[in-house]
Chain A
Amino acid sequence: MVDARGLSCPVPVVMVQNAVKESNPKELEVLVDAKVCVENITRYASSQGYEVDVKEVDGGEFSMTLKKKA
Chain B
Amino acid sequence: MEDIKLTKLANCAGCGAKVGAGVLASLLEGLQVHNDPNLLVGFDKSDDASVYKVSDDLALVQTVDFFPPIADDPFTFGAIAATNALSDVYAMGGEPKLALNIMAVPKDMPKEAVHQILKGGYSKVYEAGALITGGHSILDDEPKYGLAVTGFVHPEKLIKNSGAKPGDVLFLTKPLGMGIITTAAKVDMVSKETYDYALRLMMTLNKSARDIMVKYDVHACTDVTGFGLLGHASEMATGSDVELHIDVDNIELISEALELATIGMLPEGMYRNREFAEKYVDVGDVILAKQDMLYDPQTSGGLLIAVDSKDADKFYEELKPQVPFAQRIGGVKEKKGECYIYLH
Instruction: Enumerate chain A interface residues (CB-CB to B < 8 A).
Output: 9-11, 13-14, 17, 35-36, 39-44, 47
Establish whether residues A47 and B263, one from each chain, have CB atoms under 8 Å apart when the complex forms: yes
Establish whether residues B262 and A43, one from each chain, have CB atoms under 8 Å apart when the complex forms: yes
CB<8 Å pairs between A and B, sample of 11: A10-B186, A13-B263, A13-B264, A14-B187, A17-B263, A35-B271, A39-B264, A39-B266, A40-B265, A43-B262, A44-B263
Nearest CB in chain A: distance from B259 CB, A: 10
Most buried by A among B187, B189, B261, B263: B263
User: Residue of B at shortest CB range from A34?
Assistant: B268
A14 contacts which chain B residues (CB < 8 A)? 187, 189
Q: Is B183 an interface residue (CB 8 A)?
A: yes
Alpha-carbon separation in the docked complex, A35 to B261 (Å) = 16
Nearest CB in chain B: distance from A32 CB, A: 12
Nearest CB in chain B: distance from A14 CB, A: 5
Establish whether residues B263 and A43, one from each chain, have CB atoms under 8 Å apart when the complex forms: yes
- Looking at chain A's contact residues, the main secondary structure is helix
Establish whether residues B271 and A41, one from each chain, have CB atoms under 8 Å apart when the complex forms: no
Q: Is B82 an interface residue (CB 8 A)?
A: no
Establish whether residues B187 and A47, one from each chain, have CB atoms under 8 Å apart when the complex forms: no
Q: Is B139 an interface residue (CB 8 A)?
A: no
Per-position binary interface string of chain B over residues 145-187, scored 1 when its CB falls under 8 Å from any chain A CB and 0 otherwise: 0000000000000000000000000000000000000011011
Establish whether residues B264 and A42, one from each chain, have CB atoms under 8 Å apart when the complex forms: yes
Establish whether residues A10 and B271, one from each chain, have CB atoms under 8 Å apart when the complex forms: no
Q: Is B24 an interface residue (CB 8 A)?
A: no
Interface hits, B211-239 → A, CB 8 Å: none
Q: Is B39 an interface residue (CB 8 A)?
A: no
Alpha-carbon separation in the docked complex, A51 to B244 (Å) = 35
CB-based closest 9 A-B pairs: A40-B264, A44-B264, A43-B264, A36-B268, A13-B264, A44-B263, A14-B187, A47-B262, A10-B187
